[in-house]
Amino acid sequence: MTTRVLILSSIYDFAVDLVLHRLRENNITYLRLNREQLADLRLSLDPATRTMNIRGLGIASSLGPDLESVWYRSPIFLRNTAGGKLSLGDQLARSQWSAFLRSMMIFEDARWMNHPGDIYKAEVKPYQLLVAAKCGFAIPETVVGNDVEEIQRRFPTQVAIKSIDTVYLREDADVLFTYTNIIPSERLSDLNLHQAPLIAQQPITPKTDIRVTVVGTSVFAYKILVNGEAALGDWRLHKREEIRYEPMVLAPNVEERCIELCSELKLSFGAIDLIDSDGKIIFIEINPTGEWAWLPGAEATAGAAIAAWLGAKEIK
């Protein structure tokens, strides 16, 4: 039986499980390769014929140029996040399996959700802002760099600061992340900023956070509330039990801009963060591999849409 869908993922990616359930219901054949198990498989890829043979772990499968779609859920390998505790062998294996996964680009006739090259470009936050503005979104006033004097000139009282790229660091057994912080501008100094650039933006208040999931031309939006109210600062810093996600319908022009943004970035999937400030919709960022399974009813909305997109012969 011909494999129609290739899924590059992780054994811990439970969002994939929801979609696979839908694919099985629709009798759509797929092959899931988890990055933690690649060394337990035996794989051979032929770039000239665009074929790959896979055996091991109960799998005996072949892929060819007739592969219809690829769901690329492994963007973490695009970043150097290993930390300093890996052996030389582990570092070598990590880098080479990373390159091997990207080598799936030989299946160039397949539809991708999303293509690694497009993911890489779309993850650049300043570029996101540029494209979003071209699509008609309002965006926050923004300065990117390490010039404290310019940041303080543009934002003399308060400033929202965030990383340019997703920060995922390891220190011993700890994994460290960063979130958006709003601080007095006077707290910034050249001493603590010149070594690494950041994104500085005008804080937006009042605000209500909105998460939008785009799959092809399907759009699913949720209002994010903390203890029943709009969150102050970054909502991700609050306890899970305090956060509520309410399904909502976007204005038609906002929905169209979300679809256009993904189209301009060549993304078939995007998780978009917006802010509603007194009725004005402001674009914050888009994640081309963002999570969606934690949202209410996700399997029947985004999950079903992803399965339909992966299994469709034609996308209208």
User: How far from 113 is each of 53, 72, 101, 261, CA to CA, in Å?
Assistant: 22, 6, 14, 15
Single out the residue in 82, 116, 150 at which a domain terminates.
Answer: 116
pLDDT at 247: 96
CATH of the domain at 9: 3.40.50
Considering the domain architecture, whether residues 108 and 19 belong to the same structural domain is answered as: yes
CB 254 within 8 A of CB 125: no
Q: What is the dihedral of CA 152, 154, 160, 161, to 10 degrees?
A: -60
Mark whether 105 and 22 lie in a shared domain.
yes
Cα torsion 81, 85, 88, 90 to 10°: value is -60
3, 47, 104, 278, 315 from 68: Cα distances, Å: 8, 17, 13, 44, 12
In whole angstroms, what is the distance from residue 104 CA to residue 141 CA?
Answer: 39
Same domain, 66 and 155: no
Q: How many helices (H) and strands (E) does the chain have?
A: 8, 18
Nearest-angstrom CA–CA distance, 55 and 51: 14
Same-domain status, 229 and 91 = no
Q: Which segments in the chain show pLDDT lower than 70?
A: 1, 74-84, 167-178, 237-238, 313-316
HSE-CB at 127 with a 13 A cutoff on CA atoms is 12
What ranges in the chain are assigned the alpha helix state H?
Answer: 14-25, 88-102, 116-122, 125-134, 148-154, 190-193, 252-264, 304-311
Q: What is the dihedral of CA 137, 141, 143, 149, to 10 degrees?
A: 180
Contact 200, 161 (CB under 8 A): yes
pTM of the model: 0.91
What's the CA gap between 72 and 125, in Å, rounded? 20
Domain of 258: which CATH number? 3.30.470.20
Asked whether residue 45 falls in the same domain as residue 106, the answer is yes
Say if residue 39 is in the same domain as residue 180.
no
Same domain (yes/no): 130, 231: yes
Say yes or no: 165 and 184 in one domain.
yes
Closest C-alpha among 218, 243, 241, 231 to residue 284:
231
Q: What residues make up the domain containing 110?
A: 5-116
Whether 316 is covered by a domain: the verdict is no
Q: What is the DSSP string of 167-210?
A: -EEEETTEEEE---EEEEGGG--HHHHTTS-EEEE----S-EEE
Q: At 129, phi and psi to the nearest 5?
A: -60, -40
pLDDT the model gives residue 75: 60
Residue 311, in any domain of the structure: no
Q: Are residues 42 and 93 in the same domain?
A: yes
Per-residue pLDDT at 315 = 43
pLDDT at 314: 46
Q: How far apart are CA 183 and CA 178, in angstroms?
A: 14
Classify residue 93: in a domain, yes or no: yes
Domains in the chain, number: 3
Q: Judge whether 5 and 31 are in contact, CB under 8 Å.
A: yes
- Model pLDDT, residue 174: 56
Length reported for the chain:
316
- Is the domain of 62 the same as that of 99? yes
Closest alpha carbon to 189 in 151, 157, 158, 163? 151
pLDDT for the residue 241: 78
Give yes or no: residues 228 and 261 share one domain: yes
Residues forming a β-bridge with 174: 171
pLDDT in tens, 45-85: 999 999 999 999 999 999 999 999 999 986 644 454 545 57
How confident is the model over 232-244, as pLDDT tens digits? 777 776 677 788 9
Same domain, 17 and 98: yes
Using CB atoms within 10 A of its CB, is residue 199 exposed (0-12), middle (13-18) or buried (19+)? buried
* Residue 309 domain-assigned (yes or no): no
| Cβ(294)–Cβ(243) below 8 Å | no
Residue 305 lies in a domain: no
CA–CA gap between residue 219 and residue 316 (Å, rounded): 15
